[in-house]
Amino acid sequence: MSTSKLLRICSLDAENPIDSSLREAFSSLHDRLKPPFPLTIPSPSEYSQLNLALAYGILTEPHLAKTHLTHLHAIVIDGYNNFTTILINLSNESYPKLLQIPKSQLLWMSSKLVQVAAVKVETLIISLLRQIKVGDFSEPNLWLCSELITILANNWDWLLEEPLIMKSSLFVFLRLLADHYRLVGRPELDKLKRMEIEFCIRVLREHFDICLHIGRDLIRLLQDLVFVPEFKDVWMDFLSDPGKFGVPVFMDISQLYRTRTPSHYFSLTITPEMETQLRFLLNHVKWGSQKRYQAWFAKKHFCTPGSETVIVDIVRFICCAHHPPNEIIQSNVISRWAIIGWLLKCCKKNYFLANVKLALLFDWLFFDDKVDNIMNIEPAMLLMVNSINQYIDITHTLLEFLFLLVDNYDLQRRELIFKGVSNSFSLLVRKGVVHSLESLTSCNQLSPVFREKLASMISSSDLATMKGSSEMCQRQVKIAPTTKCNVDSGKVSLANFELNDAGLQ
Amino acid sequence: MISLKDIVPAATNTISTQFILLDKGNIGQDGKETTCLALVADESASVHFQLWGDECHFFEPGDIIRLTNGIFSYHRSNLVLRAGKKGRAEKVGEFNMLFVETPNMSEIKWANDPTNPRKFVKEAVLSSHSRIFPTLL
């Protein structure tokens, strides 16, 4: 088997189809890739072969890349669609396996495609952004951050035409910056941090109207950066002078709280490989079989120092971007709450754990059933209820954190948050995600303080006004037993009530 | 491609199948050759797979392996699947494959088929799961 100039492939790896199609096109057209270039117009199939051959040439022959690029500019008839698609597939399928030279060439070529505003180049940039691994502080990963932020900063005019890229890259680099800023004793990182700060601040200060579309997760990301002086100023303006952002409709931070972050943002900070594995786990793996998959996932993604920080992003992804259909929820496929329970146990550092709990409960704080999706808050509810028997520490820690958030997250907007959490409990019962909250309110293992807080929250929600629940308000321990008749099981299944302990270790 | 539940011991290199590697034993020496016993499985069954040479260090738990022209036979009194000299095992992916751990085809006692002494038939199940590799619970 021939060794690849493109990918790190060993003799025991099966042949990679992208690698072979590129290599074969290159070797069959090799003689035609040198000047003078032919004057004839290629047929559609010749055109796509020529694109493959030029892509291979550019990726593996850096000394001839400029010639190949001139050739590409000369033959292009589709706005670079064909060529860009080749690079997108390569990035999505094989970026982690790319050798160093093709990797550098891919980034160089991407910057050239941005300069000509190639068709689909925005997809290519998103694909490359997703190759950055959150929590990976190795040199190749930091190199990729630096290459991409350079492309973005150098192509500001293009960025203005591509608001999705602007929002997406802001989301990614705010997230990365929180980790990079915390990393001390790495002077080589200073330049990268500076570029990340400048980029994010410029987007926030000059195009806040676009940033508003990100919604509440923008706040979650920014609060991790409050210790960075430039972002401290942004916070001050958020709280005391929102007019400074020059967006007339933005008058208060609660507008961001009330905007649900669109689900595609949550795929940005996990790699395509992680997404595929998580979706496989949550769509196909049955209760009882998950242990080995969890071990493989942890070995692959959580084994380097600091890598557990990505658990925050995984939890947001599971809550907000992976919503299984009813057939899956009602089957014996492992549930989202159980995987999140396992992820919580994977967090060794308290700092990360607090962020993971916030990620899990974040939508509860601002929940409004007119704009929010019950599937975003379902995992935390089921995890709390299903952990009572064997993992009461999880129920306890989540409730404790939830009440802590209600009381302290934003003192000036405590009422809004109280209402969000109370709405969450209420809707989860009304829609039948849990029959009632009695398992929590009558659980002797939970501290009486929590049970009282929970009861007072319920009594102020619309659950309290539901038929049969007035008694509950007086006794402050039980919740409406008749809520079951209000179940809308068309939206949320009643399945998965039994705790399968296997999920939580 | 054959399902693991359908493999039968035979002296020929005719088994082409695909499975996921669940667990690996210690890497050791068998004469000049490096060997390592592994547990592999597909959606129908599991079996013990004998890794040879470079395979021992290259394949890891979670790898999806395609076996072409492999052999399922007794090797030093253990019933194992392996590539053998004529077959080939190659990595085609990772993680995204379902499996069951029972039955384990290496934990079945096989006897000669009375109607055809060159063939084996199942005589008894020695163990529902591998007795070498523990199940993760």
Q: What is the DSSP letter of A104?
A: H
Tell me whether residues A280 and B96 touch, CB distance under 8 A. yes
Q: How far apart are CA A398 and CA A380, in angstroms?
A: 8
Nearest-CA distance from B115 to chain A in Å?
40
On whether residue B78 sits in a domain, the answer given is yes
Give the helix ranges, DSSP H, for A162-260.
Answer: 163-182, 190-206, 208-211, 216-223, 229-240, 254-257
Nearest-CA distance from A285 to chain B in Å?
7
Q: Please list the ranges in chain A whose pLDDT falls under 50.
A: 1, 467-505
Total domains, chain B: 1
Mutate to test the interface with B, among A12, A333, A334 (most CBs of B within 10 A): A12
pLDDT for B94-113, tens place per residue? 999 999 999 999 999 999 89
B130: confidence class by pLDDT, cuts 50, 70, 90: very high
Looking at the complex, does the CB of residue B62 fall below 8 Å from at least one CB of chain A? yes
On whether residue B135 sits in a domain, the answer given is no
On whether residue B137 sits in a domain, the answer given is no
State residue A172's pLDDT score: 98
On whether residue B46 sits in a domain, the answer given is yes
On whether residue B66 sits in a domain, the answer given is yes
Q: C-alpha distances in angstroms, B114 versus B79, B110, B120, B123, B129?
A: 21, 12, 9, 12, 27
ipTM exceeding cut-off 0.90 for this assembly: yes
pLDDT for B38-75, tens place per residue? 999 999 999 999 999 999 999 999 999 999 999 999 98
- Torsion angle of the four alpha carbons A185, A148, A134, B58, in this order, in degrees rounded to the nearest 10: -100
Name the residue among B55, B59, B95 with its Cβ closest to that of A293.
Answer: B95
State residue A472's pLDDT score: 37
CA angle A497, A337, A397 (to 5 degrees): 100
Tell me whether residues A277 and B95 touch, CB distance under 8 A. yes
Of B120, B49, B119, the residue nearest B80 (C-alpha): B49
Tell me whether residues A502 and B137 touch, CB distance under 8 A. yes
Report the DSSP beta bridge partners of residue B121: B111
State residue A350's pLDDT score: 87
Neighbours of B61 (CB within 10 A): 17
State residue A465's pLDDT score: 57
On whether residue B134 sits in a domain, the answer given is no
On whether residue B131 sits in a domain, the answer given is no
Cβ-contact A262, A164 below 8 angstroms: no
On whether residue B60 sits in a domain, the answer given is yes
Looking at the complex, does the CB of residue B29 fall below 8 Å from at least one CB of chain A? no
State residue A476's pLDDT score: 31
State residue A485's pLDDT score: 29
The CATH number of whichever domain residue B84 belongs to comes to 2.40.50.140
Q: Which residues of A touch B (CB under 8 A)?
A: 10-14, 276-277, 280, 284-285, 288-289, 291-293, 295-297, 299-300, 502
B117: confidence class by pLDDT, cuts 50, 70, 90: confident
- The residue extents of the domains of chain A are 1-129, 157-269, 273-504
Cβ-contact A244, A199 below 8 angstroms: no
- The residue whose two tokens read 């007119």 is A370
Q: Which residues of A touch B66 (CB under 8 A)?
A: 14
Question: B80 is in which domain, residue-wise?
Answer: 4-125
Nearest-CA distance from B34 to chain A in Å?
16
Locate B57 and state its tokens.
């260090």
Looking at the complex, does the CB of residue B55 fall below 8 Å from at least one CB of chain A? yes
Tell me whether residues B91 and A277 touch, CB distance under 8 A. no
State residue A466's pLDDT score: 54
